[in-house]
Each structure stands twice: as C-alpha cells, then as structure tokens.
Amino acid sequence: MNEVKFEDIFDIEELQKLIDSLSKSFEVGMGIRSPKGDRLIRDSHFCDFCRSVVQKSPTGKRYCEESDIKLSANTDEETQICRCKSAGLIDAGIRLVIGNVHIATILVGQVRLKENELSEDEYREIAGHLGIDEDVYLEGLNGIPVMSRQKFENILSSLKIIANQLSQLGYHNLLQKDIIKSLETKESDWQKDKQQFKMMAEKDVLTGLYNRSKFESMMEKCENGSTGRICLISGDANNLKLMNDIFGHEAGDSLLKSIAVKLQEVAKPSWYVARCGGDEYRVLMPDTSLEVAVDYCKRVSRNCKTAKSLNLPLSIALGAAEWDRKNESLQECFNRADEKMYENKKNMKQKENVLDYILEKLYNKQYLSKDIVEATARTSYDFSVYLGFNAEAAEKVKTAAKYQDIGYIMLPESFMLSGQEIKDEELEQMHEHVKNGYKIALQFENTYKAAEIILYSHEQWNGEGYPKGIKGVKIPMESRLIRVVKKYMYLTKGTEYKKGISHEEAVKYMRSLAGIKYDSDMLEWFITYMEKQQPGDVL
C-alpha cells in the first residue's frame, strides 16, 4: 500500500475539477496534499487574497507553507481546525484514508469565522509582521466573506462525507488495479510458460540443441519448399557408454553437452543442429555444398581434440551427404550420411587409444610419472621373458604394469597432493583405485585379459595389501612380479619430489621387506636379472 502512488488510484484531472467546483461552491480555498505536505493537485483559490497578497511576502509564503505542511500531517481521525500561521485566517484538514493508511489530506482555508474574527488592529499587526502594506492587506481581507461557525462546520461535514466517498472509491480502485496487475502478471507468466513450452517442444533439454521432432519437421519443410542445395550430417558421440559405466551418468551428460557446444560453435545460424536422442546428433544445412559440410565435420573433429577437460577423449563420428533431389528423398540422403558416419566411427575406434589418453591426463596431473610407468612396463615384459613367459603372457604382464594405476583418474586431486596427510577414510577411498582400474581394464579388448593382474597388483605377501587382502601364492604370480618391478623403479628413478637411490640401496631396502610386502623368491630372481644387465641398463 505504501508503494502505491496517489495518481495511480485517482483520476487527477477529474479530482481537480471536483475540488475547483467545491471551492467555488463553498467559497473556501481547497487543496490536496500528501502526509508529507507535497501537493497532489493544484490548489483552488476562490479569492486572490492568499495568492496575490499574503504569498507575495517571503515571510507570508513561508508561514503559509509551514501551516499547510503541519495540517497535512494530521494524525487525528477527526477533522482538524486551526488558525493559519501567516494570515490569521481559519484552516482545516480532512484525512483521506485507504485501507487504514493515511494517503492524503484535503486542506480547507481562506475562512473568516464570525465567532473568531480578529480586530482591525490585530490584522494590521499581522500585516506589519509579514511586511505587507496594511491597507492593501485589509482591502484584500475584506474580499473574503465572513461566515458563521455553524456554516463552516456544515461545509466540513459535507467535505467529510465526500472524503469518505473518495476513500472508498480509492480503495476499490486500488483493489481493481491489484486485480488488473495480477491478471497482467498471470498473462506475462502465461506468455513465458507458452514460450518455455514451445522451446521445450523444439529443444533438447540437456544440450539446448533442437530435438528430433523439430529436426524432422524442418527436414520436411526443406524437402517441400527448398530449391537450393541441402546437406545432411549424421553424428554419433564416441565413448558415451564408457563414460557412463566408469564415471557415472553425470559425466556422460557433460560429454553430451560438450559435443553439443562443439557442433554449435562452428555452425552457421541458418543450420539446424539437433540431438536426436542418446548419443545421436544431426545437422541440416540449407544452401550448403558438400565441400562446406565436409569442412564443417573436420572443424568439429579438430575442436573436439583440443578439449581436454573430460576424463575420456571428446570425439564424435560424423558423416556428410548432399541431397540428390532428383533421385532420392531427403531421408534417403540422411541414410547415406549415416552410413558414412558408421564407417568413420569404425575407423576412429581403431585409431583412438582411450587408455593412453587417461594415462596422459594422469601424467599431466602429476598423479603418475611417465618415466616410471614406461620403465615399469618395459622391464616387466623383459623380466617375464627372462622367467620363461611366452610372448603373449609377457605382453599381458606389460599391459598390466602399464595400466595398473589407471584407476587414479577417478580420485579427487586433493588426494594426490604431495606431503599432505591422508585421513583413514581418504586412504580407503584411494585404495579403491585398483578396483576402478580393474573395471576400466575390463572395458577394452587389449586390456581385459590383464584386468585380474591389475586387480591384485597392490596385494602384499603378508596379506596386508589391498583391495582383497589375499597373501602368499594366492596372489597371481604376474601381480607379484609387477609389484616388485614397480617399487624398484620408484626407488631408483625417483620422482619430482624425491631423488632416486642407487641399485644397491634399492636392493637393501626391498630385501628388508621380503616376505612382508614382496615375494622373496620373486625379489631375488629380479635382483639377479637386474644385475645380469649391462650397467647402463640397470636403471
């Protein structure tokens, strides 16, 4: 209510006419002011005494304003009557109340009451105080008729009734405006909802691209109405199932959104880029040649390769085709693009090494040392051959040695900060990296056979390792082998934070843990193997 303006409730022009008419009829000056004394309409003067005589004096003008402001702030529910501070005439104030809030005051003035009339000497004294010529003051004063108090009270009673009617009118106007405002708000909300529903009917909620329904309707429109060249692109995001299986559906959604960004950022505004469900994307290209469409595919693929924020490579298989409108439908054109896409997807799958991508991320994050990982894998293979493993078995050991810690990719970076004390619950979560590595290895053709070796690669001879706590010969021989090799490489090559030690120092340290962490026989075989190597090959 306090925020509503007076002019928002009343028709100011019509209210002005009413006050002017009442002023003339009752032969009194009238006006309407806010509780703070601000004029809400123009003052009505039935005579010129105040305006042309009293207010010509700076003092008189100031006193007149002070009287009006004081009367406007009337907090009394009854009509307030007082003598004007400037001219000595009688004034009154009648409150306008809307919803129990004092919103305005009707001022009534320029009144001479017979019962309260001052003497001529008293009027002359007022004129002198205001700095006004006494005769001019008295001449102007005599232009105001003298009325009885009873008549003045009758006028005030009539004005009180009018004020009450105005208050009720204002209240109803306010309610009506609230209703109109509410309807306008509902209309606005409805329009927003309508726009939102329209967008939802056309757009894919996850990516913001067009959905299948909108895409198919635009294909139909282009097929029936377009005369220019049209190209279609079929796309299929790579690694979505893998991302969902390993890192969860939230990570999968991030992959889909990232693909959408890459498709959209190099597309022309006149093209229609859509996600048509799952990992399927499509692009409709009006007025576009096949050369441009193929170039677009190359640009998208290149931009995907530069994106390194996800834990798996961001890539999409794309296929493009130009519509031969004389010999095929637009759907048949898309089928050709789809076939090209699947051909490209097969080639990409053969070339793309997801596991090495993950390893590179671990190297970049300094979770793992590339030098140590590669040395561990290479030496594990050579040592396996030394022990009599055939080539296939030795290759399996090498694969397990290389990817044994790939499960680190699922850990928060805070777990891997050097020098940070790890809490028990964090340590337990960190130990899960072996299970995660096992789960990742099972997803790929070249690692699934090595998955079990990875699973047991952190077990200890005495059974205090993880994740299962098995001991002794129950630990696969291959897992015992790469555990020894990996530790030796860490000790002798060192890390960014710790300098490597000599072969002799490493042997001494590892022998102190033989039968505890390491298989004693495996350790001695390895030491013998390393010491048979040329001096330059030991480290």
Query: What ranges do the domains of the chain cover?
Result: 6-178, 212-351, 356-537
Find residue 91's DSSP bridge partners.
82
The stretches of 87-234 forming alpha helices (DSSP H) are 120-130, 134-141, 149-202, 212-225
The stretches of 235-369 forming alpha helices (DSSP H) are 240-247, 249-265, 290-306, 330-351, 354-364
**CATH number 3.90.580.10 given to 212-351:** no
Indicate the range of 101-115, 192-206, 222-236, 279-293 predicted with least confidence. Answer: 192-206
Q: Which residue would you say has higher pLDDT here, 396 or 68?
A: 396
The CATH number of the domain covering residues in 356-537: 1.10.3210.10
Nearest to 312 by CA among 258, 390, 232: 258
Nearest to 43 by CA among 24, 62, 25, 30: 30
Indicate the range of 81-85, 231-235, 512-516 predicted with least confidence. Answer: 81-85
- Both tokens of 471, joined, read 């001991």
What are the φ/ψ torsions at residue 474 (nearest 5 degrees)? -70, -25
Question: What's CA 74's distance to the chain center, in Å?
Answer: 51
Q: Average per-residue pLDDT in the chain?
A: 89
pLDDT by residue (tens digit) across 301-312? 999 999 888 889
For 196, 206, 210, the CA distances from 218, given in Å and listed in that order, are 20, 20, 10
CATH of 6-178, one of 3.30.450, 3.90.120, 3.40.50, 3.30.530: 3.30.450
Half-sphere exposure of 32 (CA within 13 A, CB side): 23
pLDDT at 524: 96
pTM recorded for the entire structure:
0.61
- Model confidence at 416, pLDDT cuts 50, 70, 90, reads low
pLDDT at 187: 72
Average pLDDT over residues 22-49: 89
Q: How far apart are CA 33 and CA 43, in angstroms?
A: 9
Q: Do domains 6-178 and 356-537 have the same CATH topology?
A: no
Q: Are 376 and 482 in contact, with CB atoms under 8 Å apart? A: yes
pLDDT at 200: 61
Give the CA angle between residues 532, 534, 539 to the nearest 5°: 95
pLDDT by residue (tens digit) across 431-476? 889 999 999 999 888 899 999 999 999 999 999 999 999 999 999 9
